[in-house]
């Protein structure tokens, strides 16, 4: 009995087995298992990218990484203060390692400071809780201690699952649970020249750790960032030292003289300037008031300011009732000791009992008198700054104040920091003084603060100017 014929399908004869794919008739046909393996090998070969595509992908990844590092380092280079740079390092590292929160601890190995702790996504209370953890139980503490004993390039510390670690300090476990922190990645901040600067830690909400590629990227970034932080640290220390010297050259407190109340506000520019103010008790119940500014910035300008202010005090004691003579002597001293500098100055001889002021100015902005009934500038003679002419001399003017009025003496920095033209800045200052609330007029300190806040609403640190700002408020009872 013959076998039944299977139905035919167009192009396929199911009754005839497919021959082996070979032109050699002596080669036996593949088994079904061998055929299956061959098909799988062919599929895998088809799925693998060509060698050129692999190289292109790697090059694209490298270019992407280099572009990211370039952008992050450029952003860091535009930062000019140490605190802003630390915040930028936190944000950049968080983006590279994929962590939402973090903190950076600045602790220079030389012990000269400053020492600070800043957080990303952490409140002051959160940072306070972290500080209660024993130092040896924190990742940044362990890195800082290891850098103190064996300085290197910073090092790293990975904690993939904090809560699963059996040897975790109980207080550290409690704080990690409170903050919802499940993992951390820490890097030390150190340079070969400056040594240890600090450590930075990024925190994860779930057990995790950055990939090897991301750790490499953040290491490259921190190598550049640490050098930048070291430079900013030196600048910060220089500014702090200069500020300490400048503050030591200015009055530590204002004198108490019956009939008047005094308040002063002095803010230095980023490079340190030569503005000053002074209030000196004189014989017979009088009071000498002065404000001034030396050209230039930096330590040399601060030193010149200190010499001029000290000399002016001596001249005020000897001939304070004649402000013109005081400034004439100061001008002669300036030409002899500081031939390459000039200065503006204003000196006032104040008699509180009579509420009378005799003053003279050398290239300085005029005082502003403000009260309930008037707000006006004192008309002083137009005069060049000290050191600009062969011989300086200008007539003095006399001013009488009413009870409750306040006289404002300021330096040009207050006007220049506004970024406006001199005329507009003068009008603005007068308008602000005229609109001082009645509740503030009793306190010269409140008056000074109100004027500064209105003249520079963005604050002295963000006004864009580099000059010092001095404001001396004198209220007559």
Average pLDDT over residues 166-187: 94
Quickly list H helices, 284-409: 299-319, 323-337
pLDDT of residue 312: 95
DSSP notation for 169-230: -HHHHHHHHHHT--EEEEEEEEETTTEEEEEEEEEESSS----HHHHHHHHHHHHHHHHHHH
**Angstrom distance (rounded) from CA 443 to CA 375:** 17
Task: Provide the CA 219 distance to its chain's centre, in angstroms.
Answer: 24
Which range of 188-192, 239-243, 386-390 scores highest in mean pLDDT? It is 188-192
> How do strand 101-106 and strand 195-204 relate by DSSP bridges?
antiparallel
Cis-peptide into 120, omega within 30 deg: no
Phi-psi region of 162 (alpha: psi -120 to 50; beta: other; left: phi over 0): alpha
Q: How many residues are recorded in the chain?
A: 477
**Angstrom distance (rounded) from CA 160 to CA 97:** 13
State yes or no: pLDDT of 116 exceeds 60: yes
State yes or no: pLDDT of 138 exceeds 50: yes
Beta bridge partners of 343: 294, 386
pLDDT of residue 44: 53
- 10 Å Cβ neighbour count for 189? 28
> How do strand 183-191 and strand 101-106 relate by DSSP bridges?
unpaired
Decide: 198 and 189 in contact? Cβ < 8 Å: yes
Cα dihedral value 85, 88, 94, 97, nearest 10:
-70
Beta strands in 82-144 (DSSP E): 101-106, 116-120
What kind and span of H or E run contains 233?
Answer: helix 212-249
Average pLDDT of the residues of the chain? 85
Residues 6 or more apart whose CB falls under 8 angstroms from that of 421 comprise none
pLDDT of residue 148: 76
Q: Coil, strand or helix: which one is 18?
A: coil
pLDDT of residue 18: 39
**Angstrom distance (rounded) from CA 172 to CA 177:** 9
State yes or no: pLDDT of 212 exceeds 50: yes
Tell which wins on pLDDT, 27 or 241.
241
Query: What's the pLDDT band for 11 if we cut at 50, 70, 90?
Result: very low
* R_g of the chain computed on alpha carbons: 37
Query: What's the pLDDT band for 64 if we cut at 50, 70, 90?
Result: confident
State yes or no: pLDDT of 25 exceeds 80: no
pLDDT of residue 92: 95
Query: What's the pLDDT band for 14 if we cut at 50, 70, 90?
Result: very low
Percent helix, strand and coil across the chain, each to the nearest 5:
40, 20, 35
Average pLDDT over residues 100-107: 96
Decide: 210 and 183 in contact? Cβ < 8 Å: no
Average pLDDT over residues 40-68: 68
pLDDT of residue 58: 72
Domains and CATH numbers, the chain: 58-241 (3.30.450.40), 251-476 (3.60.40.10)
Token pair in block for residue 127: 């940072």
Tell which wins on pLDDT, 408 or 332.
408
DSSP notation for 397-429: EEEE--TT-EEEEE-HHHHHTTTS-HHHHHHHH
- 10 Å Cβ neighbour count for 257? 18
Q: Coil, strand or helix: which one is 296?
A: strand
pLDDT of residue 19: 39
> In the structure, how many helices (H) and strands (E) does the chain have?
12, 15
DSSP notation for 248-291: HHS-SS----TTEEEEEEEE--TT-EEEEEEEEEEGGGEEEEEE
Q: Whole-prediction pTM value? A: 0.67
Backbone angles phi, psi at 357, to 5 degrees: -130, 130
Average pLDDT over residues 300-319: 92
Beta bridge partners of 265: 471
Average pLDDT over residues 303-321: 92
Q: Coil, strand or helix: which one is 9?
A: strand
- % of the chain at pLDDT higher than 90: 60
Q: Provide the CB-side half-sphere exposure for 24 (13 A, CA).
A: 5
């Amino acid at each position: 009995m013959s076998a039944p014929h299977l139905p035919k399908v167009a192009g396929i004869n199911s009754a005839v087995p497919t021959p082996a794919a070979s032109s050699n008739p002596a080669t036996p046909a593949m088994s079904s298992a061998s055929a299956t393996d061959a098909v799988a090998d062919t599929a895998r070969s088809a799925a693998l990218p060509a060698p050129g595509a692999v190289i292109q992908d790697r090059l694209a990844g490298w270019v992407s990484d280099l572009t990211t590092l370039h952008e992050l380092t450029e952003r860091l280079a535009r930062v000019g203060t140490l605190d802003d740079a630390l915040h930028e390092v936190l944000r950049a590292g968080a983006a590279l390692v994929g962590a939402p929160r973090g903190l950076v601890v600045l602790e220079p190995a030389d012990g000269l400071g400053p020492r600070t702790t800043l957080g990303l996504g952490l409140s002051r209370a959160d940072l306070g809780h972290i500080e209660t953890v024993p130092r040896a139980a924190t990742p940044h503490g362990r890195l800082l201690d290891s850098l103190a004993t064996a300085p290197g390039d910073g090092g790293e510390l990975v904690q993939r699952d904090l809560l699963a670690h059996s040897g975790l300090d109980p207080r550290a476990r409690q704080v990690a649970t409170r903050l919802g922190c499940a993992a951390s990645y820490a890097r030390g901040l150190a340079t070969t020249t400056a040594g240890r600067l600090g450590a930075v830690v990024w925190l994860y909400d779930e057990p995790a750790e950055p990939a090897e590629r991301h750790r490499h990227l953040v290491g490259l970034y921190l190598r550049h960032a640490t050098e930048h932080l070291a430079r900013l640290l030196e600048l910060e220390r220089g500014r702090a030292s200069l500020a300490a010297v400048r503050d030591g050259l200015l009055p530590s407190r204002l004198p108490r003289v019956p009939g008047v109340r005094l308040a002063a506000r002095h803010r230095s520019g980023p490079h340190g300037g030569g503005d000053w103010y002074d209030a000196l008790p004189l014989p017979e119940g009088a009071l000498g008031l002065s404000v001034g500014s030396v050209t230039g910035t930096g330590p040399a300008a601060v030193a010149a300011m200190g010499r001029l202010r000290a000399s002016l005090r001596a001249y005020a004691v000897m001939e304070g009732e004649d402000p013109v003579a005081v400034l004439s002597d100061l001008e002669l001293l300036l030409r002899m000791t500081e031939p390459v500098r000039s200065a503006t100055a204003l000196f006032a001889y104040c008699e509180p009992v009579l509420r009378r002021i005799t003053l003279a100015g050398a290239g300085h902005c005029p005082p502003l008198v403000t009260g309930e009934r008037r707000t006006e500038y004192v008309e002083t003679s137009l005069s060049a700054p000290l050191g600009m002419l062969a011989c300086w001399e200008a007539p003095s003017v006399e001013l009488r104040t009413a009870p409750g009025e306040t006289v404002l003496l300021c330096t040009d920095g207050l006007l220049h920091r506004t970024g406006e033209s001199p005329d507009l800045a003068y009008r603005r200052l007068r308008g602000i003084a005229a609109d001082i609330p009645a509740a503030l007029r009793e306190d010269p300190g409140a008056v000074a603060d109100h004027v500064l806040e209105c003249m520079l609403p963005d604050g002295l640190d963000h006004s864009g100017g580099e000059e010092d700002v001095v404001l001396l408020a004198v209220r007559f009872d």
